[in-house]
Amino acid sequence: MLEEDISLLSREDIFEEMENIMRSIAIQFFFWIVRIYNFIEKWLSPWMISNDTLDTLQDKWTSILWIEHEKLHQSHIDSFKQDDSIVEYKNMIRQCKEDLEKKQFPIILMKTEEGYYCNILYEMYKDARLYLSQEEKQAANIKFISVNYIYGEDPEKSVPIDVNRGFYMTGNHLFNATFVYRSLKYQSQPYEFTMNYTLQIVDDSANYFELKSDQYIQVEKDGYIIKKIDSSSEPDE
C-alpha cells in the first residue's frame, strides 16, 4: 500500500513538473511573439501598406493611390498589356477616369524600367493634352537635396522625406498630399499625417521654399514648376 502511494505521488510530481515546463514554454513563446510583433511594427510597417511588396518584387506595376478620411488607400490595377510604357500609361489614365468618384487627391503611379511615372489624375483630366500629347517621359536634370515634413504646432516635429531618384522624370507631379503620405509610409520615423502640413524643401541649387498640401511640383527637363491644385476639380466630400 505504501509503495503504491509513493508511486502515485511520483506520477503526480512528474505531471506537475511537466505542467510547469509547458507553462514556461508558453510564456517564452508569447514573449518572443510580442518581440517579433514590435520589431515588425517599428521597422517593417512603413513598407506594409496594401500590395507595396510589388514595389520591390516586380519591375513593372501600376497603382492608384488616394486619401479618404485622412487615410491612405492603394489599389493595384492590371497593366502592361502593351510593350510601350507610355502607351500603357495613357491607357491606364483613361481607364481610371471612371473609377474616381469620391476619391480625394488620387494619383496614378507606374513603375517602369526607366523610373516612376507619377501624376495627379484630376490635373491630367483637366487638360487632356497633358497626357494625350505627351510622347515620352525622360530623366530630369534636377534633384531636391532636402525635403522635410513639418506637422503640428511644434517645429521640432519634422520628418525627412527621401525621394527615389526614379521619380525625377519629366512631367511628373511630386509632393502633392497623396505623394507625401506615401513617402511617409516608406520611412522609419514615427509621424502623424495631417493635411495641415508644411514641406520645407531645398533644391540642388540651394534654393529654399515651402509647400502646403494644396500645392505640388511639376518636374521639367531642367527645372520644376510650383503649382496649386485646382480644388474645383476635386469631388465633394
| Average pLDDT of the residues in 24-48 | 63
Q: Are residues 205 and 122 in the same domain?
A: yes
Higher pLDDT, 88 or 138: 138
CA distances, 185 to each of 38, 40, 45, 78 (Å): 17, 14, 8, 23
Q: Are residues 40 and 65 in the same domain?
A: no
Closest of 93, 91, 68 to residue 234, by C-alpha:
68
Quickly count: other Cβ atoms within 10 Å of residue 123's Cβ: 19
CA atoms within 13 Å, Cβ hemisphere of 114? 15
Report the C-alpha gap between 171 and 167 in whole angstroms.
10
CA atoms within 13 Å, Cβ hemisphere of 190? 4
Q: Are residues 77 and 175 in the same domain?
A: yes
Q: Are residues 197 and 121 in the same domain?
A: yes
Per-residue pLDDT for 132 more than 60?
no
Q: Are residues 99 and 216 in the same domain?
A: yes
C-alpha cell at 138: 525622360
pLDDT given for residue 193 in this prediction: 92
Region of poorest pLDDT, from 20-24, 198-202, 208-212: 20-24
Higher pLDDT, 38 or 30: 30
Q: Are residues 59 and 31 in the same domain?
A: no
Q: How confident is the model at residue 113 (pLDDT cuts 50, 70, 90)?
A: confident
User: Do the strands 71-77 and 104-111 form a parallel or antiparallel pair, or are they unpaired?
Assistant: unpaired
Report the C-alpha gap between 75 and 92 in whole angstroms.
13
Q: Are residues 134 and 112 in the same domain?
A: yes
pLDDT given for residue 34 in this prediction: 66
Report the C-alpha gap between 120 and 123 in whole angstroms.
5
152 contact partners, CB below 8 Å, separation of at least 6:
192, 194
Q: Are residues 133 and 36 in the same domain?
A: no
- Burial of residue 211, with CB atoms counted within 10 A of its CB: 0-12 exposed, 13-18 middle, 19 or more buried: buried
Q: What is the pLDDT of residues 54-85, one digit of tens each?
A: 455 556 778 888 898 888 988 876 655 555 67
Closest of 98, 104, 127, 131 to residue 117, by C-alpha:
131
The residue among 46, 63, 78 that closes a domain is: 46
- Which residues on neighbouring strands pair with residue 151, listed in sequence order? 197
Report the C-alpha gap between 37 and 39 in whole angstroms.
5
Q: Are residues 67 and 163 in the same domain?
A: yes
Per-residue pLDDT for 7 more than 80?
no
Q: Are residues 110 and 133 in the same domain?
A: yes
Q: How many domains does the chain have?
A: 2
High-pLDDT (> 70) share of the chain, %: 68
The residue among 46, 67, 82 that closes a domain is: 46
Q: Which span out of 1-15, 150-164, 200-214 was modeled with the highest average pLDDT?
A: 200-214
Q: What is the pLDDT of residues 204-228, one digit of tens each?
A: 999 999 999 999 999 999 999 999 9
Per-residue pLDDT for 51 more than 50?
no
Q: Are residues 131 and 29 in the same domain?
A: no
pLDDT given for residue 159 in this prediction: 93
15: domain range? 2-46
Closest of 182, 189, 123 to residue 159, by C-alpha:
189
47 touches 186 (CB < 8 A): yes
Q: Are residues 69 and 118 in the same domain?
A: yes
